[in-house]
Amino acid sequence: MSRFIVRRILALVPTLWLTVTLVFFFVRLAPGGPFDGERAVPREVLLALEAKYHLGDPLYRQYLDFLADLVLRGDLGPCFKYPGRTVNELLRVSLPVSLQLGVMAMTFALAVGVPLGVIGALRQNTWADTLATSVAMIGVSVPRFVLAPLLVMVFGLQLYWLPVARWESWRHAILPVICAGLPTAAYIARLTRGGMLELVRADFVRTARAKGLGEGAIVVRHLLRGGLLPVVSYLGPGFSGLLVGSLVVETIFNIPGMGRYFVEAATNRDYNIVMGVTIVYGTLLMTLNALVDIAYAWLDPRVSLEEL
């Protein structure tokens, strides 16, 4: 197990390096610079700004400096749009918020999705199945940017039940978590239902039932464990999808998370933020995938880590 984890961490390095390198040159090749704006920046000021951020240096030099700062000091450099803020500071402030939202939304998605899926599979074609499927359908069929304003309109502006924006108390989290988590919950419900339906008819389940094992025990011991496999596969991309999807939710509810930087930093040509976001996101994804593999092995006795 530990060898596997070490191997995974080692695999992270070249991939990250590749990503960093690609993105580094990508952003600098793009037209427009970080200081282009409505009012032309006087030449002398522009030169001073470029000197300050070493943007006048040859590209390879900037690249090596960036790598050195990153590797030796974990320093992602300054942010151009907000001078005096470092990218590290930006991420330190925004990443926990995004993670918080992401974890809450994922918890919500699992808490809603798995039971819905289980009910759907066990009570196939009953009223309960229809209800469960419908909830899942709504989640899958309505984009977050339609769902969010709808929820705001009803629960915030008409009923005055819940706050309409910002990130303060637990009450502020309700609508964003639902918006962010519902599509994921719907996926999970469908995957759970699908995965369990596969097993409901499997031989070993019939054997178990024939042996007189109770329904509850069958569900927990056999069906859930195996039926959740597709869900586990989905957790990695699902969580990262949540983080990216939270871009919409963060925008609409004005949550000070990392999502806003995905597009904004690129359009602002804020090179270092683009790098920072990419690195954080990449690391997160890779780690999650490794975790998913481990969980997969734990859940499915047919798979050993040796094979992964």
Partner 1 sequence: MKRSSLVRGGGGGAQESRLWSLWSWALALVLLAACRAESEPGYFGTVGRRGGAPNTFYVNNYDEPEHLDPALVSESAGSTLLLELFEPLVGEHPADLHAIQGTAERYDKSDDNRSYRFYLRQNARWSDGRAVVAEDFAWAWRRVLVPETGARQVTMMFALKNGALFHRGELAVLNAEFGGLVKGTPLRSYERTPENLRRAPALVPAEATHKLVGVHRAMPTFTGVAPPASSLTAAGAAASVAGAAASVAPSPEPLFFVPAALLERSDAVLGVRATSEHVLEVELEQPTPYFLELLGYPVFYPVRRDVVERHAGSGEAERWTRPEHIVVNGPFTLARHDFRYEMRLEKNPFYWEKDAIAIERIVVFEVPSAQATLALYKTGELDYLGSNGALPTGSMDRLLGYRDFGRAPWTGTYWYEFNTERPPLDDVRVRQALNLALDKRELIDSVARAGQAPATHFVPELTGSGYAAQVRADKAAGVDPFATRLLGFDAARARALLGEAGFTVRERDGTWMAEGFPPLEVLYNTSEGHRAVAVAVQALWKKHLGVSVTLRNEEWKVMIKNMRDGHFQVARFGWVADYDHPHNFLDTFLSYSQNNMTRWRDEAFDEVMARAAAEPDSKRSIALYRQAEERAVHAMPRMPIYFYTKSWLIKPYVKGFYPNAMNKHPIHWMWLDESWRANPENRPAHVPHELPPPGSYAP
Partner 2 sequence: MSAATSGESEPIEDAGGSTFAADAWRRLRKNRAAVASLAVLGALLLGCILVPALGSYGYADTDLALGPTPPSWAHWMGTDLFGRDLMVRVFFGGRVSFAVGVVSTAVSFVIGVTWGSVAGFFGRRIDAVMMRIVDALYTFPFLIFVILLSVFFANQGGLLHRAFVRVLGLFTARAHDPSYFPVFQIVFVFAALGAASWLTMARIVRGQVIALRAQPFVEAARSIGATEASILVRHVLPNALGPIIVYATLTVPEVMLTEAFLSFLGLGTQEPLASWGLLAASGAETMDVYPWVLVFPALMLAVTLFCFNHLGDGLRDALDPRIRKD
Q: Which helix (H) or strand (E) holds 265?
A: helix 259-267
- Structure-block tokens of residue 104: 């809450």
Q: Are 167 and 190 in contact (CB under 8 A)?
A: no
Assess 15 for contact with partner 1 (CB under 8 A): no
The CA distance from 30 to 264, in Å, is: 15
Minimum CB separation of residue 18 from partner 1 in Å reads 26
Residue 68 makes contact with partner 1 by CB under 8 A: no
Q: Total residues contacting partner 1 (rule CB under 8 A)?
A: 61
101 binds partner 2 (CB under 8 A): no
Rounded to a whole number of angstroms, the minimum distance from the CB of residue 95 to partner 2 is 14
Please work out the total of residues on this chain that contact partner 2, with binding judged by CB under 8 A.
64
In order, the DSSP letters of 115-146 are: HHHHHHHHTTTSHHHHHHHHHHHHHHHS-HHH
* Per-position DSSP letters for 30-60, written without gaps between them: SSS-TT--SSPPPHHHHHHHHHHTTTTS-HH
Contact status: 280 vs partner 1 (CB under 8 A): no
Interaction of residue 154 with partner 1, rule CB under 8 A: yes
Among partner 2, partner 1, none, the one that 212 touches (CB under a kind-dependent 5 to 8 A) is: none
- For 265, the token pair is 């930093």
> Which residue in the set 110, 135, 255, 277 belongs to the binding site for partner 2 (CB under 8 A)?
277
The verdict on 302 binding partner 2 (CB under 8 A) reads yes
Q: Does residue 105 belong to the site contacting partner 1 (CB under 8 A)? A: no
CA distances 166 to 170, 178, 258, 298, Å, are 11, 15, 14, 39
The residues binding partner 1 (CB under 8 A) are: 30-33, 36-42, 44-45, 47-49, 52, 81-86, 89-90, 93-94, 124-125, 127, 130-131, 134, 137, 149-150, 152, 154-160, 163-167, 200-201, 206, 251-254, 256, 260, 267-269
